[in-house]
Structure 1
């Protein structure tokens, strides 16, 4: 524990808690300070100018990052007939209906994304108490309930992330790994910001993107200067 605390003290000495870093400078700094014994993720927090108590101001959606997240994603699909074969060909790890539901109930299967064709939602519905708390319940708003299961599977496998503001109006997302190039991380970040801007609630007034912070899994966080960030204005 002492070793970890010493490491964090050294990191904090090299970052400013009050400065708004230019995007490439900030990303590069965090990459250089990522000294954990594993490849850390690069995470972003976006403070939105919304009132999360109002349902019409909540922000939820998905976006495919141009360079993915660097994580291997295990995708399961609820579908039947021709769609089940299409899902398998698209790269789904497991496809099924009631048999798949039973595996989930018994905690016999690991997965990161759940996709369902519309005709499978009656089966998926019985898993609400399991999938809901984990944020994995299929939803048409994020493209995980769809007739086009092939595209949904391919998107999930190629770096799609889902986002949803928390009770404080903050979006949390992973935009890559520290071993990505700085340019790749910046392009992923800009892609997310553009998606959020497109998803701005019409009832949200004033400044929408209030603050953007980035951090690594085991490192300190820093704030970004939004002036030159594509999509932030």
Structure 2
């Protein structure tokens, strides 16, 4: 196992309590940030669900009040008459056959794909490529829509998807270190509330088991699950 450097060890030493309130944890994220760039603030929340069962999958979307601070590169698979408005909304590229051909050749230099329902069948030939990288559009994620420009605008303003991985953990970014503490707290609480609201019917027992916050390369800080459940 690789050893952490002095900067990380010094930052880790500032995490003196085993558990913190949300406001304390956010303040501590800034104190323990070890990067020179504007690091992302991340949440890792372990839920009491087993995603192998369909009625225990947690997946939804939320519009963060202040966005993530991250530039999202969106590609739009749309009909010819929707290309211009998709580009105007913020897509880095828009079209149909031409874009699919580029993806077939290995192009995946983007973060998200928004597609019109009528064109989903055409994505079949690149479904494996997109699926392996978590880029395949999905109705559940709101990325399959007859109104692509509207969804792209929402994504540009901070709409994100959250979902459990195969171990029942949700990993998401909720802002940047440069954000004011109040904005980070508002973003985080909005995301946590959405996760609570998305509790699946099959979830039994303790729903929120552990919540950790961290910056891109900093130590993790655990927050009180009781405070989370009371949101």
* Same fold, judged at TM 0.5 (above): yes
Change beyond 3 A, Cα 1:22–1:109: closer
Note if contact 1:194-1:232 (Cα within 8 Å) is conserved in structure 2: no
Give distance in 1, aligned partners of 2:217 and 2:86: 36
Note if contact 2:11-2:31 (Cα within 8 Å) is conserved in structure 1: no
1:161-213 deviation per Cα after TM superposition (whole angstroms, max 9, x unaligned): 22211122110001111111111111111111111112111111222112111
Give distance in 1, aligned partners of 2:37 and 2:98: 36
Task: Give the TM-score normalised by the residue count of structure 1.
Answer: 0.92
Give distance in 1, aligned partners of 2:28 and 2:226: 18
CA positional deviation for 1:83: 2.8
Q: Is 1:188–2:187 an aligned residue pair?
A: yes
CA positional deviation for 1:108: 4.2
Note if contact 1:74-1:93 (Cα within 8 Å) is conserved in structure 2: yes
Matched with 1:123 is 122
Give distance in 2, aligned partners of 1:105 and 1:70: 30
Residue 66 of structure 2: SS of its match in structure 1?
coil
CA positional deviation for 1:157: 1.0
Residue 61 of structure 2: SS of its match in structure 1?
strand
Residue 197 of structure 1: SS of its match in structure 2?
helix
Note if contact 1:12-1:220 (Cα within 8 Å) is conserved in structure 2: yes
Note if contact 1:113-1:156 (Cα within 8 Å) is conserved in structure 2: no
1:80-114 deviation per Cα after TM superposition (whole angstroms, max 9, x unaligned): 14333332332222111110011112234621110
The 5 Å alignment of 1:5-44 reads 5-16=5-16, 19-44=18-43
CA positional deviation for 1:3: 10
Change beyond 3 A, Cα 1:76–1:225: same
Matched with 1:47 is 46
Structure 2: tracts of 5 or more residues without a match: none
Matched with 1:199 is 198
CA positional deviation for 1:120: 0.8
Change beyond 3 A, Cα 1:101–1:133: same
Q: CA RMSD in A?
A: 1.9
- Aligned pair count reads 230
Residue 172 of structure 1: SS of its match in structure 2?
strand
Residue 126 of structure 1: SS of its match in structure 2?
helix
Q: Is 1:77–2:76 an aligned residue pair?
A: yes
Matched with 2:146 is 147
Give distance in 1, aligned partners of 2:147 and 2:101: 24
Give 4+ residue runs of structure 1 displaced > 3 Å after superposition.
226-229
1:129-169 deviation per Cα after TM superposition (whole angstroms, max 9, x unaligned): 11101111000001000112122101111112222111221
